[in-house]
Amino acid sequence: MKFISTRGQASPVGFVDACLAGLAPDGGLYVPEFWPRIEPAGPKESYVSVASRVIAAFADGELTTDEINGICERAYAGFAHQSVAPLVQWGSNAFIMELHHGPTLAFKDIAMQLIAQLFDHVLAARGARMSVTCATSGDTGGAAAAAFAGASQVDLFILHPFERVSPVQRLFMTTTGASNVHNIAIDGDFDACQSIVKSLFADRDFVDETGLSGVNSINWARIAAQSVYYATAQAALGSDRPLKFIVPSGNMGDALAGYVAARCGLLNGFEAVCAVNENETLKTLFESGRMVRTPAIATPSPAMDISVPSNFERIAFEVSGRDPEAIRQIYAGFAQSGDVELPEKIRGPLSCSGLSAQSVSNSTTLDEMRKLLQETGWLICPHTAVGTQVARQLFGDDDATIVVLSTAHAAKFPETVLEATGADAPLPARVANVADRPEVFDRLSSDPTVVRDYIRQRQRD
Ligand SMILES: *Cc1c(COP(=O)(O)O)cnc(C)c1O
Model confidence pLDDT, tens digit, residues 256-279: 999 999 999 999 999 999 999 999
Cβ(440)–Cβ(448) under 8 Å? no
Question: Distance between CA atoms of 314 and 311, rounded to whole angstroms?
Answer: 6
Residue range of the domain that includes 318: 87-102+222-421
Please report, for residues 3, 17, 226, the alpha-carbon distance to residue 63 in angstroms, rounded to integers and kept in the order given.
16, 12, 19
CB 1 within 8 A of CB 36: yes
Instruction: Inform me whether the pLDDT recorded for 57 exceeds 90.
Output: yes
In a domain, 321, yes or no: yes
Report if residue 32 sits inside a domain: no
The mean pLDDT of 126-130, rounded to a whole number, is: 94
Atom of ligand 1 nearest to the CA of 384: 11
Residue 375 domain-assigned? yes
pTM beyond cutoff 0.85 = yes
Does any ligand 1 atom lie closer than 6 A to the CB of residue 258? no
Query: Which residues are annotated as catalytic?
Result: 108
Q: Does some domain include residue 366?
A: yes
In DSSP terms, 159 is beta-bridged to 135, 184
pLDDT score of 397 more than 80: no
Q: Does residue 351 sit in helix, strand or coil?
A: coil
Residue 138 Cβ < 6 Å to ligand 1: no
Instruction: Classify residue 262: in a domain, yes or no.
Output: yes
Give the Å distance between the CA of 118 and the centre of ligand 1: 21
Is 115 contained in some domain?
no
| Ligand 1 mean position, distance from CA 205 (Å) | 32
304-329 pLDDT, tens digit each = 998 889 999 999 999 999 999 999 99
Distance between CA atoms of residues 97 and 85, nearest Å: 6
What integer is the mean pLDDT of 177-196? Answer: 93
Question: pLDDT band at 72, cuts 50/70/90?
Answer: very high
- Looking at residue 147, its pLDDT comes to 98
Q: What is the 384 CA–ligand 1 centroid distance (Å)? A: 10
- Please report whether residue 214 resides in a domain: no
pLDDT for position 139: 87
For a mutational test of ligand 1's pocket, the pick from 139, 218, 230, 308, i.e. the residue with the most ligand atoms closer than 8 A to its C-beta, is 139
Cβ–Cβ contacts within 10 Å for residue 261, how many? 29
Residue whose Cα lies nearest atom 14 of ligand 1: it is 303
Question: Three-state SS for 208?
Answer: helix
Pocket test for ligand 1, best of 307, 355, 383 (most atoms within 8 A of CB): 383
User: Any residues with CB less than 8 A from the CB of 236 and at least 6 apart, and which?
Assistant: 43, 87
Q: How many domains does one find in the chain?
A: 1
Tell me, in angstroms, the distance from the centre of ligand 1 to residue 139's CA: 8
454 vs 223: CA distance, rounded Å: 30
Mean pLDDT of the residues in the chain: 96
In a domain, 458, yes or no: no
Q: Which atom of ligand 1 is nearest to the CA of 252?
A: 9
**Ligand 1 within 6 A of CB of 7:** no
Read off the CATH number of the domain in which 369 is found.
3.40.50.1100
